[in-house]
A and B are shown apart, each in its own frame.
Chain A
Amino acid sequence: MSSTAIMHGTLPILGESVSPLAMAVPARDDHDLLLRLKRREPDALTELYDRYGGMAYRLTLRMVRDEGVAQDLVQETFLRAWNRAAGFDAERGAPGPWLLAIARNRAIDYLRAEGRLSKNTFELNETEHPALFVEVPDGALSLDAARRVKRALERLGSQQREAIELAYFEGFSQSEIAHRMGQPLGTIKTWTRRAIQQMREALG
């Protein structure tokens, strides 16, 4: 009977660690990983990619709708993470939200430069208020939480969901959403606030 054949979280393949259930990785592993990133250990960046690269790629692809561009932007995302890891608080930080925020900002930059997005949309700069990326509420980053939020999103009315998706995945401002959906700005605000409230309740 082998005790090494089954493992939790990660598995070495060809000498490198692969972790397909990224959100199942214990928080303390993320902490160790961040410390290694701060020490600029090259393997740490690969491990960060193994945990969050798939997420970053799918989110970016959903936003830019071009595989080649998405790959370039994900590479740029990890380059930025590599260069800025030294300033990240490894004691309290959660790399997942931080990395996805970088990925989303890269995609928005691209959409804006391509002219698909107006300058009304602003970025929550991942370096401007670092406190926002640390001390994330317990359990808020789990796979279960993400599933609950996803289900809540799917249960929204079609117009509410469209408004939220236009904001998050397309990077539109509320005015742009109102214009696109042919609704008054006040209606869009009401829809999005109500939708957000339902999703927040799904997180408990």
Chain B
Amino acid sequence: MNCAELRPDYMLYAIGAIEEPERTEIRAHLDRNCETCTSGVREAMALTYSMGALVDGPEPPLELRSRVSGIAGMGARRASAVRMPAPKRSLLLARPVAAWQGLAVLAACLALAVVPTILWRRAVVEIEKRQAAAAAALADERQSAAQLRDELAKLEGSSSLRANPIISLELERGAPGEAVKHISIPNGVAAIVLALPSDLVRQASTADLRDSSGQTISSISPIPVGDSDAAGLTIDARLLPAGRYSLALRAGERVLAQFPFVVDRR
């Protein structure tokens, strides 16, 4: 198959849903570094990423962050905690045992019965060694688990981490007096992330956070904007007692846009 015929299936390949013969065909193109197919599947992967990146759902629990941090700090072996379910039992094992197979098993048992005692003794010693090693490993695991528990307890003891430390708000343009967006800040929140249209942020030289009287509480200049299309400004939650605010984006003295919002405290 040529690249044009395979093009509609690049994304199905990227997500693993494609079937034969297209699967083998695309793989062959990739294996021989076909530029068209590599580029097409790469583009499809970006599309796939977009699908996965904005899945709705809860935030992960804070303890997961500690577990991931522990991977680097404590070595990979202890971090490998995933318990995959046991594979389904093969149907082959459920078949009845044939007569000749039974005889073979009986012969093997007889052979085992005449194994010299010394070999048996060696086997016992080997088993004892393995048991001792397993016991040592288990003790090591228990010690590691205790360390992890202690670290987690320290983290959980921090008041800043007991609550969700960050909340975010996507701002909309409006006049300073308008209450376009409303945000409730629970106790324990450390920061507010304000999402802004990146095209405006790129044009702006300064971002001013102003209170209801128009006084500037804080500002940043220049605004560091990366290559991303999205921009986020993170604000220390302590700067935002209940009240009305406006985030102003300026290019020099000219105000490009204002983003009013109202804060209340819980």
Q: How far is the CB of A14 from chain B (nearest CB, A)?
A: 6
Which of the listed residues A27, A43, A101 has the most CB atoms from chain B within 10 Å of its own CB?
A: A101
Q: Answer yes or no: B1 CB below 8 A from chain A CBs.
A: no
Query: Across the two chains, which residue of chain B brings its CB closest to A53?
Result: B60
> Within the assembled complex, what's the spacing in Å between the Cα atoms of A132 and B11?
12
> Within the assembled complex, what's the spacing in Å between the Cα atoms of A134 and B237?
37
Q: Judging by beta carbons under 8 Å apart, are A8 and B45 in contact?
A: no
User: Which residues 157-199 in A have Cβ within 8 Å of B in the complex?
Assistant: 167-168, 171-175, 177, 192-193, 196-197, 199
Q: Judging by beta carbons under 8 Å apart, are B81 and A75 in contact?
A: yes
How big is chain B's contact interface, by range?
35 or more
Q: How far is the CB of A185 from chain B (nearest CB, A)?
A: 8
Q: How far is the CB of B209 from chain A (nearest CB, A)?
A: 6
How big is chain A's contact interface, by range?
35 or more
Q: Answer yes or no: A87 CB below 8 A from chain B CBs.
A: no
Residues of A near B8 (CB, < 8 A) are: 193, 196-197
Which of B11, B49, B69, B207 makes the CB contact (< 8 A) with A49? B69
Binary flags per residue of B39-53, CB closer than 8 Å to A gives 1, else 0: 001111111111111
> Within the assembled complex, what's the spacing in Å between the Cα atoms of A150 and B87?
35
Q: Judging by beta carbons under 8 Å apart, are A100 and B68 in contact?
A: no
Given A18-B166, A140-B46, A100-B52 contact (CB < 8 Å): yes
Q: Answer yes or no: B234 CB below 8 A from chain A CBs.
A: yes
Q: Judging by beta carbons under 8 Å apart, are A8 and B223 in contact?
A: yes
Which of A8, A115, A122, A192 makes the CB contact (< 8 A) with B88? A115
Which of A21, A70, A140, A172 makes the CB contact (< 8 A) with B50? A140
Which of B17, B67, B221 makes the CB contact (< 8 A) with A174? B17
> Within the assembled complex, what's the spacing in Å between the Cα atoms of A21 and B224?
15
Q: Judging by beta carbons under 8 Å apart, are B219 and A27 in contact?
A: no
Which of the listed residues B41, B52, B166, B168 has the most CB atoms from chain A within 10 Å of its own CB?
A: B52
> Within the assembled complex, what's the spacing in Å between the Cα atoms of A72 and B79?
10
Residues of B near A75 (CB, < 8 A) are: 64, 67-68, 71, 79, 81-82
Q: How far is the CB of A72 from chain B (nearest CB, A)?
A: 4
Residues of B near A136 (CB, < 8 A) are: 42, 45-46, 49
Binary flags per residue of B19-58, CB closer than 8 Å to A gives 1, else 0: 1000100000010010000100111111111111111111
> Within the assembled complex, what's the spacing in Å between the Cα atoms of A192 and B221?
47
Show the binding face of A for B, using Cβ within 8 Å: 1-3, 5-11, 13-14, 18, 20-21, 23-29, 40-46, 49-50, 53-55, 57-59, 61-62, 67, 70-76, 78-79, 82-83, 96-97, 100-101, 103-104, 106, 108-110, 113-115, 120-124, 129, 131-133, 135-150, 153, 167-168, 171-175, 177, 192-193, 196-197, 199-200, 203
16 contacts between A and B (CB under 8 A): A6-B233, A6-B234, A7-B234, A8-B232, A8-B233, A28-B227, A57-B60, A70-B60, A123-B16, A132-B38, A141-B50, A150-B54, A153-B51, A192-B12, A193-B8, A200-B44
Further contacts, 18 of them, CB under 8 A, given A9-B232, A28-B226, A42-B69: A5-B209, A5-B235, A8-B226, A20-B232, A21-B168, A24-B195, A26-B224, A41-B72, A76-B82, A100-B49, A106-B82, A110-B82, A132-B41, A138-B227, A145-B50, A146-B54, A171-B16, A200-B47
Show the binding face of B for A, using Cβ within 8 Å: 8-9, 11-19, 23, 30, 33, 38, 41-61, 63-65, 67-69, 71-73, 76, 79-88, 158, 160-161, 165-166, 168, 190-191, 193, 195, 198, 207, 209, 216-221, 223-236, 239
